[in-house]
Amino acid sequence: MHQPQIVVVTGASGGIGRASAIEFGRRGDTVVLIARGEAGLQAAARDVESAGGKTLTIQVDTSDAQALDDAAERVERELGPIDVWVNVAFTAVFARFSDVHPDEYKRVTEVSYLGYVYGTMAALKRMKPRNRGTIVHVGSALGYRGIPLQSAYCGAKHAIEGFNESLRCELLNEKSAVRTTVCVMPAVNTPQFSWVLSRLPNQAQPVPPIYQPEVAARAVVYAAEHPKRREYWVGASTVATIIGNKLAPALLDRYLAKNGFSSQQTSDPKNPDQPANLWEPADASKDFGTHGIFDNRSASTSAQVWASQHHGTVAAAAVGVVGAVTGALTWRTLSR
């Protein structure tokens, strides 16, 4: 039976962060929701509590290392030892590299990469002396394969992969019981496409196929429960992207040069009043919810995720199929 835990989730006011917080809430955990937007945070807290969890909300910009450390200190003082820390918070700019300003590039890097580093520092500072705890990083297939129009975000996601590999080696060297793992995500239907800073002419969209945030959230909770694996690939498109880039990266370069611009935009013009959350939270006074605007095009399940979490069952089934085929062929041969 699951013993309730203290779980911290950054970027918890929308998308994968909010869906993950709700999923932890279903286990009866106490979930600390960290984000900038007050309206989004309060609505997310209500969702988690409705699911069965307890909550604490803390407004923090994850690019502020001291603020994150102070938040971790408050959690342990008021609630107890942190069992799980989930890094999700990010921001992005949708534009050609030549159209991104230096301060914008810096801001994306500080939130989407250094925010993970600072969150991990805050968590490890408290977990390592106890020799227990789990850190889950929400990564992306774009951490393996960069695409046009998202150079700052792709760079940050690549950095997370290298950072986690280095950290994991150090923890293994120290024989630490603290675990760190990455959930490598596909395109997900999150509110970011309604609040990202975009210089595209049309409405930004995730590159299909698109998954609902709950698919990602279930993977995050599973990773927190089974953190010994170095990473989890979520969604068949993630698997195809990573393997395809290993086998034919130059071919993918040419494919994305031709198709990567149109696949990240709908045919509808961009809303001229769309907010941009790069510098200020878009959900300070308005809650955008867990989902984005692509519900009718998003999958709620993933056979690949189930298979990746049940290797033994899949292997047994494969052996069974091979055995059945072999038996049938043998019987056919003997019958002759």
51 within some domain: yes
Query: Lowest mean pLDDT: which of 69-83, 120-134, 244-258, 315-329?
Result: 315-329
Nearest Cα to 149, choosing from 223, 98, 213?
98
Which pLDDT tens digit goes with each residue over 73-88?
999 999 999 999 999 9
| pLDDT of amino acid 314 | 57
| pLDDT of amino acid 333 | 47
DSSP assignment of 123-169: HHHHHHHHT--EEEEEEEGGGTS--TT-HHHHHHHHHHHHHHHHHHH
Q: What is the 3-state secondary structure (H, E, C) of 187-214?
A: EECCCHHHHCEECCCEEECCCCCEECHH
Give me the mean pLDDT over the 328-332 stretch.
48
| Domains identified in the chain, total number | 1
Confidence of residue 329 (pLDDT cuts 50, 70, 90): very low
| pLDDT of amino acid 318 | 45
| pLDDT of amino acid 307 | 84
Which pLDDT tens digit goes with each residue over 183-211?
999 999 999 999 999 999 999 999 999 99
Q: Is the pLDDT of residue 323 over 60?
A: no
Give me the mean pLDDT over the 216-228 stretch.
97
Give me the mean pLDDT over the 260-281 stretch.
95
SS3 248: coil
| pLDDT of amino acid 335 | 56
**How many angstroms separate the most distant Cα atoms in the chain?**
78
What sign results for the dihedral spanned by CA atoms 199, 201, 206, 207? negative
* Residue 251 or residue 315, greater confidence: 251
Give me the mean pLDDT over the 4-25 stretch.
98
What sign results for the dihedral spanned by CA atoms 68, 71, 76, 77? positive
| pLDDT of amino acid 226 | 97
Domain containing residue 102: 6-301
SS3 314: helix
| pLDDT of amino acid 66 | 98
Using a cut of 0.85, tell me whether the model's pTM lies above it. Answer: yes
**Beta-bridge partner residues of 197:** 93
Contact call for residues 34 and 58 (beta carbons, < 8 A): yes
Contact call for residues 76 and 126 (beta carbons, < 8 A): yes
Confidence of residue 324 (pLDDT cuts 50, 70, 90): very low
14 within some domain: yes
Query: Lowest mean pLDDT: which of 187-196, 233-242, 285-294, 311-320?
Result: 311-320
DSSP assignment of 65-124: HHHHHHHHHHHHHHT----EEEE-----EES-GGGS-HHHHHHHHIIIIIHHHHHHHHHH
| pLDDT of amino acid 306 | 81
Query: Lowest mean pLDDT: which of 34-43, 284-293, 318-327?
Result: 318-327
317 within some domain: no
Which conformational region is residue 189 in: left (phi greater than 0), alpha (psi within -120 to 50 degrees), or beta?
beta
Count of all residues that appear for the chain in the document:
336
Other beta carbons within 10 angstroms of residue 70's beta carbon come to 14
332 within some domain: no
In the structure, how many helices (H) and strands (E) does the chain have?
A: 12, 14
Q: Is the pLDDT of residue 311 over 70?
A: no
309 within some domain: no
| pLDDT of amino acid 305 | 82
Strands 30-35 and 265-269: unpaired
Give me the mean pLDDT over the 110-137 stretch.
98
SS3 14: coil
| pLDDT of amino acid 151 | 98
Q: Which residues of 218-247 are buried (b: 16+ CB within 10 A; e: fewer)?
A: bbbbbbbeebeeebbbbbbbbbebbeebee
| pLDDT of amino acid 135 | 98
Which pLDDT tens digit goes with each residue over 125-177?
999 999 999 999 999 999 999 999 999 999 999 999 999 999 999 999 999 99
* Phi, psi of 80, deg, nearest 5: 125, -175
106 within some domain: yes
Confidence of residue 332 (pLDDT cuts 50, 70, 90): low
316 within some domain: no
Does the bond joining 209 to the residue before it have cis omega, within 30 degrees of 0?
Answer: yes
330 within some domain: no
CATH code for the domain in which residue 225 is found: 3.40.50.720
Find all residues with CB under 8 Å of 228, minimum gap 6, and list them: 179, 181
